[in-house]
Amino acid sequence: AGINAALQCRGESPWVPARDQAYLGVLADDLVTKGVTEPYRMFTSRAEFRLQLREDNADLRLTETARRFGLIDDERWRAFEAKREAVAQEAARLRSLWVHPRNLSTEEAVRVLGKPIEHEHSLADLLRRPGVGYQDLMGLDGGRFQNPSLSADLAGGGVSHETALAVVEQVEIAAKYAGYIDRQRDEVGRAAHYENMALPADLDYGQVSALSMEVRQKLQKHKPQTLGQASRISGVTPAAISLLLIHLRRARGRTSDKAGATA
């Protein structure tokens, strides 16, 4: 509310967090598009993109936005950039380091990895294995994979001890759930195709052919601002969204034709 009050005073558009950006975005969108008949409780199950809304990546999701609004000072911004860079560098380092069976005894492989390895693996691949943690890998082969800048034992490292722990946590989570996170990121991209497509405030849903009376009444009642909001109204089917999309495209086509004829 404070952010949007300041933006309004500056004559700028309000900030509305997306459903894949913050749980606040999920809450606000649900209240606007679905309404409530009982007290609303914010459960993680309400967020379809909850893998993106993790505690460990809250700063990556929101700090840039907060900086744009003037809420992040220079010192905190530099700390954020240092952490973000450290995460990217460490993830790249794990992908570039390889473990060969001949450099790993059977006993050590079983103890750390659960079973011997038959061919080369990158540390990033090994980190995806159940029960294998980042610190386990750093102890392999006499500790030669340690990253000095993230070592709590070395003074003057690249980042603070607290930041180093956060970097390790983020790298480990991203590696272990990479497949799920990437798949959900693709889903976010597909949803964004029509998420922000605006619906005219004066749109007459009665003129949208083939929409059922129930869908028309719900759309008229909630007056969604975008196709994305309309898609989350209870009872509004994917088929109805397709009909709305076709109607919008036809309307825009007619507008373009009129503009061309006038010119």
Give the whole-angstrom CA distance, residue 252 versus residue 262: 15
Place of tokens 């991203």: 174
Place of tokens 């994305």: 228
pLDDT (tens digit, 9 = 90+) per residue, 106-134?
Answer: 888 888 898 888 899 999 999 999 999 99
| Residue 77 pLDDT greater than 50, yes or no | yes
Written as six digits, the tokens of 127 are 């980190």
Q: What is the 3-state composition of the chain as percent helix, strand, coil, each rounded to the nearest 5?
A: 60, 0, 35
Question: How confident is residue 219, by pLDDT bands cut at 50, 70 and 90?
Answer: very high
Sequence-distant (6+) residues with CB within 8 A of 90 are 147, 150, 167, 168, 171
- The rounded percent of the chain whose pLDDT value lies above 70 is 93
| Contact (CB, 8 A) for 34 and 234 | yes
Domains of the chain: 2-68 (no CATH), 74-187 (1.10.10.1800), 196-262 (1.10.150.570)
Q: Identify the pLDDT of residue 155.
A: 40
Sequence-distant (6+) residues with CB within 8 A of 112 are 132, 136, 137, 139, 140
Give the whole-angstrom CA distance, residue 184 versus residue 47: 12
Sequence-distant (6+) residues with CB within 8 A of 44 are 23, 50, 53
| Residue 24 pLDDT greater than 80, yes or no | yes
Give the whole-angstrom CA distance, residue 6 versus residue 172: 38
Among the listed residues 97, 98, 123, the one whose alpha carbon sits nearest the alpha carbon of residue 112 = 123
Instruction: Please give the torsion angle defined by the CA atoms of residues 172, 178, 184 and 190, in that order, rounded to the nearest 10 degrees.
Output: 130
| Residue 172 pLDDT greater than 90, yes or no | yes
Give the whole-angstrom CA distance, residue 251 versus residue 239: 18
Global pTM reads 0.74
| Residue 214 pLDDT greater than 60, yes or no | yes
Helices (H) and strands (E) in the chain, counts: 12, 2
The beta strand positions in the chain, using DSSP E, are 98-99, 121-122
Q: What is the DSSP letter of 151?
A: -
Question: Taking residues 235-247, what's their average pLDDT?
Answer: 86
Higher pLDDT, 261 or 182: 182
Please write down the HEC assignment for all residues of 67-81. Answer: HHCCCCCHHHHHHHH
Q: Identify the pLDDT of residue 237.
A: 84
- Total residues found in the chain within this entry: 263
